[in-house]
Structure formats: structure tokens, C-alpha cells
Amino acid sequence: MTPLTTHLSSLSLHIVSKIIYHIKFNLFAIVLISILLYYISTRGRKVFLLDYSCYKPEDSLRCSHDAFMERSTLWNIFSEESLEFQRTILEKSGLGQSTHIPEALWTLPPNPCLGLAEKEVELVFFGAVDDLLAKTGVKASNIRILIVNSSLFSPSPSLCSIIINKYKLKSNVLSYNLGGMGCSAGLIAVDLAKHLLQVHPESLALVLSTENITLNCYFGDKRSMLVSNCLFRMGASAVLLSNRPSDRYTAKYELVHTVRTHKANDDRGYRCAFQEEDNNGKVGVTLSKDLPVVAGEALKINLTSLGTVVLPMKEKLLYYANYIGRKIFKMQMKPHVPDFKKAFEHFCIHAGGRGILDTVQKGLHLTEKLLEPSRMTLYRFGNTSSSSLWYELAYLEAKGRIKKGDRVCQIAFGSGFKCNSAAWCALKTVDPAKEKNPWMEDI
């Protein structure tokens, strides 16, 4: 090989290596820029609540305290002591005279069968979804994400399949069926929808929440299981979420934060709301006397996380100064409880029972007016499980209290034990004269 040929070969190799280097560098740059753009786009993708709907059962299913006790007596299932215990619980429960129980519990004898359980689900879900689609003008075929939750009822085909079949959703709809998550499942579903909307642009998510009463009434004499009979009632909610930027101008709320707390690593928390059989093989949900205490502990953990992103700086500094003084300098002082009233104008606390509401009110130093939506929901509709938060928000709207820029805190508790929270910001002032929700005839 001549010197010239050798030189040309070396030059060619040098040029080729430089070309390969530049190609690799450019590919790396393109990949890096793509990852950064994807991260920015997903992190910055906002989630909006277009609207929601709560099902209001028919008047024929209304159940006063006397009607409830009459049914319980005529069933000839409970002992005299159990009947008297249920009467006492009802009187102290905070439930009013107009809550609702399903058809299966009106018959003599009661008929808690699968057919009537499915009928109850269809009644509450179809009613809520029909109303929601009518209010928003959204076509069911445009829904890309479907999340359904019912803690104690999981038929086959699934609840998601019932909705998909009824409304003929597209075959590529992303569907999720949440079971066993307790009364906090509504916010778990919202949190799941939020994460899915972060990675699926230009999408609508439908979140449905309920608890099935038909198959979950307890027919035994164990007192800790009888409590749930007195508290849980019919209800359901349908919530439509969107990540489409254009929907900001028509949406009611923007989802700001969600925080989830789980206490199943603590035995007391794990068993404080537990589905099991009694000594006679009757299935029910045991509600422990520790429930309010466990709820308070879970709430403290949850709000500690939420407080870091929603509280004003002054409240944060007071909290951290108090913490350092107690833990590091061993100063004798009471723990500082941040004033969440400075972070939110409204609170929707899961209407699980009077004891739970009293615990939250005391822990957060909330006024009676701030607890009014929760207490009124418990009074009018009872514990509707994971849907109760939306009845509470509907109450605020019906009263004309939601103004543009208002911040709303939803807090839910559930078996496991779980405490979940969500922070919303109102994008418009809600005019009750233009609203259609289950409170309109009562307020």
C-alpha cells in the first residue's frame, strides 16, 4: 500500500468515526430532549373536574328510624337485645328520618340475592351517570378511562363491564375495578385517575363510587357488626375528570393535590373495620371501638404531608419551630396543630358517623359551619361510603357557598386503615339556581 493510499484510508476512518460520533451525540441529545419534554408535559398536565352527579333514591325507598326498626322486628331475625341496641345506635348516629335502603330490605322476609344486588348497582350508577352526561353534554363514547369502586360487591362480569355494556364505551377504554378499599375508595379512584391522565393526553376519566347495601346487611346478633346496619345507606356518585387544556374554561374545579395514607402496618388499624363471620357463621363488618382513635392517627399523618404543600409559610414555620423545640431541644410544649382553615375555605369530611366527624372537628379545630356539609349529608343520606364526599360538595354548591378561587379539602377514611385527602380549587362561582343536585328539594 502506497503512502498516499495509507493516508487516504486513515483520513476516511477519521471522517467516518467523526460522523458516527456526531450521530451518537445527536441521538443522545434527541433522546434526552424527548425525555425532558415528556417529563415537563406530564408533570404540567392539569386535571380538571368538569362536573359530577350524586344519585338521589326514590321516595318509596325512604327509611325513617321507626320504619327501620319495624322492618328489623318483622324479619324475626334479631334478639330483643339486638333490636334495642340498634334503636340506641340510630338515635345517636346522626342519621335523620329520610335516608334510603334498597328494595331487598323492604321485603318480608328480606331478600339479599345477587339479582337484587345487581339491580341496586344499576339503579344508582345508571341514575348518576345519566344525569352527569346530560349536564356535561359529553358522549359516553369519548370516555377513555373508567374507574369503578365498590368495596364489598364484586360481581362477574365486573362493575366496569356493566357500565361499558350499558353505555357502549369503546373497546380500548382503560377500565379499573377497585374492591375492598373501604369508604376512602372514592379518593383512591380520583388519585388513580390523576396518574392515568398524566400519561394519556386529551382524555376524559369517569369515576364511579358506591357501596352495595343489598348483600351486606348483617343478620346476626354481634353488636360490633350491627353498627354498620344502622349507618350505611344507598347512594352513588359519578365524577368526570379531564386533562384537556380547553376544558379549563368550562370545568368547575382543578385538582391541586392528592395524599394517601395507609395504616395496615399497624394491627389495630388493620382490624378496626374488618369483614368476617360471627360465631354463627353470619358475615358482617366489625367496627372496632378504636376506629375514631385510629382515624385520628391516620389523619395526622396524612395532613402532615398535605400541609407541606397547602399551608401558608407562616403556619409551616410555626410547625417546624415547634417540632424542633420539642424533639431536638426537648422543650416542654404542646405540639403545634397547623390551622388548615388558612389553607381551605371548605371541608368535606367523610360522613362515616358522628364519632368520626367529632374526632376530625376536634383535631382540626373546625367550626360547626365548616362541618355542616358533612353532618347534613350524614343526616339526610346516611353513610353512603365512598360517594359521601360528593354529596357534601353538592350541599355546598346548593347553598351557594362555592366562589371562584375557593379551596376545598376532601378527607376520607376507609378500612385497612386508610386516610386519603384531595385538595381542589374552584374555577368558577357555582350558581345554585343553575344547578341540579340531590339537595335542591331539601334546601
Please count the residues of the chain.
Answer: 443
Residue 220 has pLDDT above 90, yes or no: yes
Between 27 and 335, residue with greater pLDDT: 335
> Lowest mean pLDDT: which of 71-85, 223-237, 253-267, 310-324?
310-324
Percentage of the chain surpassing pLDDT 90? 79
Paired residues of 115 in beta bridges? none
Closest CA to 255 of 424, 51, 429, 420: 424
pLDDT per residue as tens digits for the range 169-206: 999 999 999 999 999 999 999 999 999 999 999 999 99
Query: 228: which 3 cell numbers?
Result: 354498620
Q: What is the pTM of this model?
A: 0.88
Judge whether residue 373 has pLDDT over 60: yes
Question: Given a cut of 50, is residue 38 above it in pLDDT?
Answer: no
* Residue partners of 188: CB distance under 8 A and separation at least 6: 149, 178, 181, 260, 414, 418, 420
Are the C-beta atoms of residues 64 and 98 closer than 8 Å to each other? yes
The pLDDT assigned to 30 comes to 57
Burial class (CB within 10 angstroms; exposed 0-12, middle 13-18, buried 19+) of 293: middle
Q: What is the mean pLDDT of the chain?
A: 91
Which of 3-12, 19-28, 204-213 has the least mean pLDDT? 3-12
Q: Cα dihedral angle (286, 288, 289, 293), rounded to 10 degrees?
A: -140
Those residues with Cβ within 8 angstroms of residue 298's Cβ, 6 or more apart along the chain or in another chain: 261, 263, 269, 413, 417, 418, 419
Strands 174-178 and 145-150: parallel
- As given in the structure block, the three cell numbers for residue 90 are 340510630
pLDDT for position 124: 98
Question: Over the stretch 259-285, which tens digit does the pLDDT of each residue have?
Answer: 999 999 989 999 999 999 999 999 999
Residues 6+ apart with CB under 8 A from 302: 259, 260, 261, 411, 419, 420, 421
pLDDT average, residue stretch 385-400: 98
With contact defined as beta carbons under 8 Å apart, do 407 and 345 qualify? Answer: yes
With beta carbons less than 8 A apart as the criterion, state whether 99 and 184 touch: no
Residue ranges of domains in the chain, CATH in brackets = 47-434 (3.40.47.10)
The CA distance from 44 to 57, in Å, is: 39
| Residue 413 identity | F
User: In the structure grid, which three cell numbers stand for residue 221, read together?
Assistant: 346478633
Of 224, 184, 117, 148, give the one whose Cα is nearest residue 416: 184
pLDDT band at 410 (very low <50, low <70, confident <90, very high): very high
Q: Which residue has the cell 484510508?
A: 9
Cell of 14: 477519521
- pLDDT confidence bin for 289, thresholds 50/70/90: confident
pLDDT at 244 over 90: yes
The continuous run of DSSP H or E covering 413 comes out as: strand 407-414
Give residue-wise pLDDT tens across range 115-157.
999 999 999 999 999 999 999 999 999 999 999 999 999 999 9
pLDDT of residue 29: 55
Res 14: pLDDT: 61
Residue linked to cell 390523576 = 194
pLDDT in tens, 340-367: 999 999 999 999 999 899 999 999 999 9
Active-site annotation, residues? 183, 262, 346, 350, 383
pLDDT confidence tier of residue 329, bands split at 50, 70 and 90: confident
Residues 363-387, mean pLDDT to the nearest whole number: 97
pLDDT digits (tens, 9 = 90+) for 63-118: 999 999 999 999 999 999 999 999 999 999 999 999 999 999 999 999 999 999 99
Site of grid cell 451518537 = 24
Taken in order 76, 82, 87, 92, the sign of the CA dihedral is: negative
Residue 369 makes CB contacts below 8 A (sequence gap 6+) with none
The C-alpha cell 362561582 sits at 429
Confidence category of residue 325, pLDDT binned at 50, 70, 90:
confident
Residue 33, pLDDT > 70, answer no
The confidence band for 333, taking pLDDT boundaries of 50, 70 and 90, is confident
Mean pLDDT of 3-19: 57
User: Could you tell me which residues are beta bridge partners of residue 276?
Assistant: 284
